[in-house]
């Protein structure tokens, strides 16, 4: 079992035979690979790296009792590292057991203890979040034994089981929210989080629900965070959007390096490299098409089910992808000669253009009394903010208003992709005929 207590960074240890056949290295992959291979090569010597800085933006440092060093993408992380991000800093740290920490700006994390046996999956992970905004995706250790994963907070403590949590640590107050259960991420059992303080514990079992810790008080009963609070937390963890061609090129290289790091780290941890290598090569092959996606996109989990326009604007270079949905249109009252005459089908064919930041296409309703073969859809989300929801009015005459005659689209995140699912709904009531329907679609 690999046990790391107070390991300290020193001279890197050169790898012998890294055993990464088949992996296509990124342009800066050599330096990154050396940092990650040292995890395996240092098995019998100090220092022992416990993870890698998979993606770094802005100012990030790691402090030990001896010195403070800058943290860069691909750099090794060690037990007892006190990692701090600056006002412009973001970090995603991937540990050997696949535990992932994400830090927003002005945040602080201490990696206290890491023990991991890749053959059995047993181990222990202990960390402290001192301030700022963070997200945590559990890895193999917590999957095998949830009690072995502990996160200490300035007020209280956090235990998690096969899931994703996020939090904001402020002076005397900490907010914790459950973002996603295990099946949404790894195909495992539904996860949960336990939050403890002042001798009391609450369990979070529903995504989007959270609690608040305050000094000397038990955790508040679980409550649903409103969309604005979830969005603020999510946006704080997003990296800055590249501002020019140079930044986009750097982001492409950093993203490729992060993919390489994931596969190399898997090899160092004794995990199944073949599947991860294939996934890494597939993603590396897409980096030309995803030229301006930030490096953090690899490990960032779009775990809040409701997509935000701000998230979609980060994704460029994908071109235009279609959503095609079809469903039943159910007649209501009023309707000439009864609801059956207002019952039929409806559907939509809408393209999400990531480069032009538009939704374009058409929707249709086909019934005996209500017939709209081509309802034009044209939405520009360049300046839109908040939940990725759009409503398009149907010119139905009569008493129709935007509220009573419309097609509405809601974009959702799924499978670690932003805007993967489109939920469409239609409602129509012009005072003479009426009905409604729903239809979902998943983009490629």
Q: Which residue has the tokens 């005397």?
A: 172
- Its CATH class, for the domain covering 2-237, is mainly beta
Going from N- to C-terminal start, the domains of the chain cover 2-237, 320-442
C-beta of residue 130 within 8 angstroms of C-beta of residue 112: no
- 437 has a pLDDT exceeding 70: yes
Pairing of strands 389-393, 406-414: antiparallel
- Among 14-18, 286-290, 353-357, 412-416, the range with the most confident prediction by mean pLDDT is 353-357
- Say yes or no: do domains 2-237 and 320-442 share a fold: no
pTM of this structure:
0.51
Both tokens of 4, joined, read: 């790391």
CA distance 95 to 143: 14
Domain 320-442 CATH (choose: 2.40.160, 2.60.120, 3.30.70, 3.40.50): 2.40.160
Kindly report, residue by residue over 235-249, the tens digit of the pLDDT. 777 654 433 334 444
CA distances from 46 to 15, 42, 55, 82, 141 (A): 14, 7, 24, 18, 23
C-beta of residue 342 within 8 angstroms of C-beta of residue 331: yes
Dmax (CA) of the chain: 84
CA distance 124 to 256: 30
Q: How much is the pLDDT for 131?
A: 95
Q: Which helix (H) or strand (E) holds 54?
A: strand 49-57
CA distances from 45 to 10, 24, 247, 253 (A): 11, 29, 38, 31
Kindly report, residue by residue over 46-95, the tens digit of the pLDDT. 567 888 887 788 899 999 888 999 998 778 899 899 999 999 898 888 88
CA distance 259 to 297: 10
Kindly report, residue by residue over 160-181, the tens digit of the pLDDT. 877 788 899 998 899 999 876 5
């Amino acid at each position: 079992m690999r046990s790391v207590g107070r390991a300290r960074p020193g001279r890197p240890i050169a790898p012998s035979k890294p055993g990464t056949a088949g992996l296509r290295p990124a342009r800066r992959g050599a330096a990154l690979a050396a940092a990650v291979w040292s995890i395996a090569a240092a098995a019998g010597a100090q220092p022992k790296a416990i993870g890698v800085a998979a993606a770094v933006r802005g100012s990030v440092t790691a402090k030990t009792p001896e010195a403070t060093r800058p943290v860069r993408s691909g750099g090794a992380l060690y037990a007892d590292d006190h990692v701090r991000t600056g006002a412009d800093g973001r970090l995603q740290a991937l540990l050997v057991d696949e535990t992932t920490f994400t830090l927003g700006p002005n945040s602080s994390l201490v990696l206290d203890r890491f023990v991991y046996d890749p053959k059995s999956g047993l181990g222990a992970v202990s960390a402290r979040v001192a301030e700022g905004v963070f997200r945590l995706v559990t890895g193999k250790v917590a999957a095998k034994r949830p009690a072995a994963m502990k996160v200490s907070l300035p007020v209280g403590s956090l235990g998690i089981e096969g899931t994703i949590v996020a939090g904001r640590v402020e002076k005397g107050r900490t907010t914790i929210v459950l973002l996603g259960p295990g099946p949404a991420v790894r195909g495992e059992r539904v996860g949960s989080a336990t939050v403890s303080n002042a001798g009391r514990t609450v369990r979070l079992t529903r995504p989007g629900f959270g609690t608040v810790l305050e000094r000397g008080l038990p955790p508040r009963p679980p409550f649903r965070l409103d969309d604005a609070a979830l969005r603020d937390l999510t946006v704080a963890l997003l990296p800055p959007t590249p501002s020019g061609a140079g930044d986009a090129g750097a982001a492409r290289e950093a993203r490729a390096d992060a993919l390489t790091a994931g596969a190399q780290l898997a090899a160092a941890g004794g995990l199944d490299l073949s599947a991860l290598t294939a996934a890494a090569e597939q993603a590396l092959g897409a980096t030309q098409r995803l030229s301006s996606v930030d490096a953090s996109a690899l490990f960032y989990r779009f775990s809040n089910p409701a997509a935000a326009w701000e998230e979609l604007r980060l994704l460029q270079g994908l071109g235009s992808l279609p959503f095609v949905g079809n469903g039943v249109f159910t007649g209501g009252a009023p309707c000439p000669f009864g609801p059956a005459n207002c019952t039929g089908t409806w559907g939509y064919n809408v393209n999400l253009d990531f480069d032009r930041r538009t939704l374009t296409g058409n929707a249709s309703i086909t019934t005996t009394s209500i017939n709209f073969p081509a309802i034009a859809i044209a939405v520009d989300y360049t300046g839109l903010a908040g939940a990725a929801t759009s409503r398009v009015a149907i010119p139905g005459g009569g008493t129709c208003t935007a509220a009573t005659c419309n097609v509405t689209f809601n974009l959702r995140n799924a499978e670690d992709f932003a805007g993967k699912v489109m939920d469409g709904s239609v409602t129509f009531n012009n005072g003479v005929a009426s009905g409604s329907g729903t239809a979902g679609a998943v983009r490629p």
